[in-house]
Structure 1
Amino acid sequence: MQNEYFTFGEIIRKSTEFLLNKGVSSAKCDSEWIVSHLVKTSRMELYLNFDDLVPQEKISEIRNMIVQRGRRIPLQHILESVQFCDLRLKCDGRALIPRPETERLVEIIIESVGETFNGKILDLGSGTGAIVLALCNQLKEARGLGMDKSSEAISLSRENLCLLGLSARVSFQKFDWMLEDYKQEKVDLLISNPPYLSVEEWKSADPEVNKHDPKDALVSAEGGLAHLRKLLDLSKNALKKDGQIFLEVGMGQAEEVMEMMKDTFYDIENRKDFCGVRRYVFARFC
């Protein structure tokens, strides 16, 4: 391709065709993201300049990234970042890639607690730090603690913390909440997007998920319910009276999780995600 010339329209079309042949369902969108990332412009600007030539020095870089995506390496790992709730977070194989479904969880939490919330937030299984960082970025008086059993995830979340300048109000600590007792101060808000896939669901997931996301961040025993069950038990020591819990759960799990909550929580509710799945369960601690 060194001596070839392509317009933005041509290179997006060729890249899309290549990725579709590799089984990438988001081929056109991913091609646009890769091209816009490398030429440092918006996706909208690409179409405003559809017939302009791609800078010659960028063609081989675009091809290399498209080939990587064709190998089913996640787009976020290729770009080394992810957009989440108006934040740009560093993203790589050390932690689960934050999903759009989890952005909706953040929205639900802010709708519930209000922008004047000034309490303490605990994020269990914090991964990249996306949830607690997004919340504390929008809730200017809130304080946050993210905890994860993975040293690699903690290192990534601390890098994101430094990038966002929230170190005065947010911290991250290594903690295996499936094995260790919670001994920190009680909090006003406990949030978690825990592992909730069964082994069978994980095996049938796309290669981007089961080959590149950490398995421990996805899979839970007891058909995907073990971590959720443990979270509810741990919350008795972690939440203040009338404190709130917000959980992201798997398909078909909401009713069972709500049933588990009945003895220790009140005002138990659930919400659907954009696909109609009952994805979010939240309540107040008695």
Structure 2
Amino acid sequence: MKTTIKAQLAHAYTLLSAHDCASPRLDAEVLLAFVLGKERSYLRAWDDKTLDAPSLTLFAQLIEQRCLGVPIAYLTEQREFWSRTFRVSPAVLIPRPETELLVELCLAHLLPECTYDVLDLGTGSGAIALTLALERPRVSMTAIDKSEAALEIAKENAARYPCQHPIRFMLSDWFSALPSGEKFDFILSNPPYIAQNDVHLSCGDVRFEPLSALVSAEDGLFDIHRIASEAKSYLQSGGQLWFEHGYNQGQAVQALLASLNYHTVQTYFDLAGQARVTKGIL
């Protein structure tokens, strides 16, 4: 087999197509560009370039893993979110475009000229916490996760993108490690919200993501209920609680927040018209 960029991409396309990859050409280009440390445009401009042995070996290994379904983000150890590149690993969820709605809505309520104490629960890669802290430099951000491995990834991303007010990272099972009496103006979370028997858990990227960050009991609402209940002790009067949740959970989350005496409860829809984020005010 030829060892040029063009020949290797063609071979990778064939392999990925045979394994029902949804975007074989794009995936092959992304992985080869990653191997070479180049932009994808380089592959087209220099498609007759011969690859060296280490590059060929690494590319073959990555294509083999991709054929098994391993997400591109885990293979390249990075994912773009809000126009920034964040490091990821199998210890954290892969940031998704729909989560940008949660960030967009919070930014609309975090006025640039004001100061806020904000808590991000289940921070994972830190993409949400860092984005908010970078876009609103007057925010004091606390980011919590119960996974030490996830916090290490988040801290690496924080080192890559220094904030005016350094983020306080804490190892905690939701609120358990927070000092009693501490108050926040905003609490937000993209918690586990997939039901334990959801068929989507056996599909696509989620097969490789940490179940502890995906799955929740009580039809996916257990962690949302726990957070909403405990958040009342940590929110300022008038403080806001924001959740990302499943497309079919909007009404259930609204009812849950209302039952806990949150007011001005509202659900927001993503670009696909799916209920995705719900807010309540204490």
Q: TM-score, normalised on structure 1? A: 0.88
Unaligned 5+ runs, structure 1: none
Candidates 240, 250, 258, aligned match of 2:246: 250
8 Å Cα contact 2:113/2:138 also seen in 1: yes
Say whether residues 1:215 and 2:211 are aligned partners.
yes
Q: CA deviation at 1:78?
A: 1.0
Aligned partner of 2:117 in structure 1 is: 120
Map of 1:43-192 to 2, 5 A cutoff?
43-47=40-44, 49=45, 51-57=47-53, 58-166=55-163, 168-177=165-174, 183=180, 185-192=182-189
Q: Which stretch shifts more, 218-227 or 160-169?
A: 160-169
Q: CA deviation at 1:124?
A: 0.6
The Cα offsets for residues 234-285 of structure 1, whole Å up to 9 and x where unpaired, read as 1201211111222100121011111111252222221222332201112322
8 Å Cα contact 1:76/1:82 also seen in 2: yes
- Return the alpha-carbon distance in structure 2 between the equivalents of residues 24 and 230 of structure 1: 38
Query: What RMSD in Å do the two structures reach over aligned CA positions?
Result: 2.3
- Partner SS for 1:200: coil
Report the CA distance shift for 1:20/1:183 in structure 2 as closer, same or farther (over 3 A).
farther
- Partner SS for 1:199: coil
Q: CA deviation at 1:51?
A: 4.1
- Return the alpha-carbon distance in structure 2 between the equivalents of residues 52 and 184 of structure 1: 64
Q: CA deviation at 1:197?
A: 0.5
Unaligned 5+ runs, structure 2: none
Say whether residues 1:28 and 2:25 are aligned partners.
yes
Q: CA deviation at 1:45?
A: 4.1
The Cα offsets for residues 166-216 of structure 1, whole Å up to 9 and x where unpaired, read as 384201111112867762621111110000011111664325312x21111
Aligned partner of 2:232 in structure 1 is: 236
Map of 1:255-274 to 2, 5 A cutoff?
255-262=251-258, 263-274=260-271
Q: CA deviation at 1:5?
A: 3.0
8 Å Cα contact 2:5/2:51 also seen in 1: no
8 Å Cα contact 2:73/2:94 also seen in 1: yes
Q: How many aligned positions are there?
A: 280
Q: CA deviation at 1:11?
A: 3.3
Report the CA distance shift for 1:18/1:165 in structure 2 as closer, same or farther (over 3 A).
same
Q: CA deviation at 1:142?
A: 0.9
Aligned-residue sequence identity (percent) comes to 26
- Partner SS for 2:62: helix
Report the CA distance shift for 1:183/1:52 in structure 2 as closer, same or farther (over 3 A).
farther
Q: Which stretch shifts more, 135-144 or 164-173?
A: 164-173
- Return the alpha-carbon distance in structure 2 between the equivalents of residues 158 and 181 of structure 1: 19
* Paired AA for residue 164 in structure 1: Y
- Return the alpha-carbon distance in structure 1 between the equivalents of residues 58 and 47 of structure 2: 20
Q: Which stretch shifts more, 261-270 or 188-197?
A: 261-270
8 Å Cα contact 1:178/1:230 also seen in 2: no
8 Å Cα contact 1:142/1:169 also seen in 2: no
